[in-house]
Amino acid sequence: MKKRSSLSRLMEYAGNYKYLTYFSWILSALSALIALVPFWYIWRIIRDVLEVYPNFGKAQNLLHYGFMAVLFAVLSMAVYVAALMCSHLSAFRIASNLRSIMMHHIAKLPLGFAESFGSGKLRKIVNESSAATETFLAHQLPDKAGAVATPCGLLALLLIFDWRLGCLSLMPVALGFLIMMSMTGKKMEQKMKEYQNALDNMSNEAVEYVRGIPVVKTFGQTVYSFKKFKASIDNYGKWVISYTKELRMPMMFYTAAVNGVFVFLIAAAFFFTQGGVTGRFLLNLLFYMIITPVIAVTLTKIMFMSENEMIVADALERIDSVLTLNPLPETKAPQQPEDASIELKHVRFSYDGEKEAVSDVSLKIEPGEKVAFVGPSGGGKSTLANLISRFFDPQSGTVKIGGVDVRNIKKETLMDTVSFVFQDSRLIKASILDNVRMGKPEASKEEVIRALKAAQCMDIIRKFPQGADTVIGTKGVYLSGGEQQRIAIARAILKNTPIVILDEATAFADPDNEIQVQSAFDELAKGKTVVMIAHRLSTVENADRIYVLSKGKIVETGQKTKLCEKGGMFAKMWNEYQTQVQWKIAEEG
C-alpha cells in the first residue's frame, strides 16, 4: 500500500479550510515572481547609467525605474502577507482539530493509559507535535511554493540577458544541490526521529522529576538520585554534539558552494573579456552579481524545508501513536452491580506483555469491608487497584464488582460506583469549590461546603479571604501536599460512591496534616467498601483484612495481629516500620 504524504494527511483535518491552504500557495508563488520584477528595473537603471557614462545627468528615467522597483517590492510583500493570512487561518484550524481529536480520543482510552504512556511524552505530542504541523502549514508550505516559483523566474532572467553567464551561475547551484541531497534523505529522516525521541525522553523524565521533588526534599537527595532524568539529559547532549560534528563538513562545503557563484562570474569575466570589454557584457555581469545571491537564499530555504517536512512526518507518526491506541471495549448489554463487593478470579496482567505485574490473583472483598494491600514496591498493589477501577483490563481472569464483570458495566456506572484518591492528588487551576465539585458537577454550594467540612478542610478555607471561591494556582495561592489531599478527599466524599480506593493517599502528607487527612479518611470510609494501599503500616492496623503482595502474588492474608504472630513477610515489615518510627521519635526528642 502506497504511503500517504504528510500533506494529504493534514488536509483531512482541514475541512473547507484546505482551499485557503491551496490559495496561499498560489499567492506565495505570485509574490515570489513579483519580487523578481524589481531586479529587471535595476537592470534598466544600470543600462541607462552605462549608456550615458560619464555624463550621468543625461539619464532620464532613473527616478521612474526606481519608483517602479519599490512599487513591485511593496506589492510582492502585500501579496505574501495575504498568502500568510490564508495559510495561518487554515493552519490554526488544522492544529485545533488535531488537538481536539487527540483529546477526545485520549478521554476514551483507559484511565491508566497516561501513566503507562508517560504524561510528559503525552503532553509533548498533544502540544508540540500539533504545533509542528501548524508551523509547517502556516509558513513552510507557502514559502515552499515561493521557493519553487523563484528558480523558475530566476532561470528565465539568467538565460535571457546572457545565457553563458546564466549557465555559469547555475553550476554552483547544481553543486550545492548535490551536497544538500547527501545531508537529507532517509538518513536525515532517521536522525530526526532520534532527535524527537531524545526530546520526548527528556521531557518525560523532567515531568517525573518535578513530581518527585517532594521526595527529594524529604530525603535530602540531589538531582543525581533521579538517574533516568540525568541520563536523558546526557544522552541528548551526546546525540546533539555527535550530529553537529557529522554535518559540519557537508554544511561547510554546501555554504561555500551556494555562495561561491561570484568565483564563477569573475572567472567568466576574465575569460570573456580577453578581446575587450563591451558595455553590454559589463551591464549583464553587474546584474548577475546583484541577482545571484537570491539563488543561495532560495536553495537554503529548500534545504530547511526538506528538514521541516521530516519533522512534520515524525510529528504525525507520534500523533498516530496516540490515535491508533484502542479504547477498552464497551459492552452492548450493560449490567448493574448488585452491591459493593469486589471479586478477582485468577487475574493476570502485564504492562509490557512479558513480566507479569499481577500473577494469578484471586480474592473476595465483601460489601462494607475495609481491606489493605501492602508489600514491597513493585509487588502489584497499585496494579490491582487499577484493575478494580478498570484503568486496564487483565490479560486473563475476571474482575467483578457487585457480582458483575467490570467489562459488562458501563463506564459511567463504574465511575459512579468506584472513587479513587491517589497519592499525588491533582487539582486544576480553578476555585476550591470547582475542584471539589468535579466529583459531582450538579452539586450545590451547600453540598460542597458539607463535603469540605467532612474532609477537615475548613482551616484551608478560612485562611483565604475568598474562602471556597479561592482560585488555586493564581497570585501565589498554593496548597501543601496534605491540603491538596484533603481537597481530593472532599471531592470523593461529595461523589459518595459505594467503593473507595485509597492509593498511598498519605504519602505526601506532612505531620501536621496527617491527623486531619486520617480523620477525613475515616469520614470518607463510613459505610463503604474500602481498599487501601499503604507504605505507612499504621494506617492499616484496623483493616478487616490485609493482603500482602510480593512479585505480583498474594503471599499472606489476614488481620494485623494474626499476621504479626505468623512471623512472615508482614511481621518483618511491621517490625522494620516500628523501628523507623522509634528512630524518628528519638531524633525529634
- Rounded average pLDDT over 553-570: 89
Greatest C-alpha distance within the chain: 116
Contact 559, 401 (CB under 8 A): no
pLDDT (0 to 100) of residue 87: 92
Which carries the bigger pLDDT value, residue 253 or residue 115?
A: 253
Kind of pairing between the strands at 529-533 and 370-374: parallel
pLDDT (0 to 100) of residue 222: 52
**Please, what is the average pLDDT of the chain?**
80
Rounded to the nearest 10°, the torsion over CA 507, 512, 517, 523 is 160
Q: Is 36 helix (H, G, I), strand (E, B) or coil?
A: coil
How far apart CA 272 and CA 163 sit, in angstroms, is 13
pLDDT (0 to 100) of residue 70: 93
Least confident of 131-135, 200-204, 555-559: 200-204
Which strand (E) or helix (H) includes residue 124?
Answer: helix 119-124
Q: 6-323 has which CATH code?
A: 1.20.1560.10
- Rounded average pLDDT over 403-407: 92
Q: What are 194's strand-pairing partners?
A: none
Fold classified for 342-588: Rossmann fold (3.40.50)
Residue 219 confidence class, pLDDT cut points 50, 70, 90: very low
- Rounded average pLDDT over 156-162: 71
Domain boundaries, the chain: 6-323, 342-588
pLDDT (0 to 100) of residue 23: 92
- Starting at the edge strand found earlier in the chain, the sheet holding 358-365 runs 358-365, 342-349, 396-401, 404-405
- Rounded average pLDDT over 260-279: 70
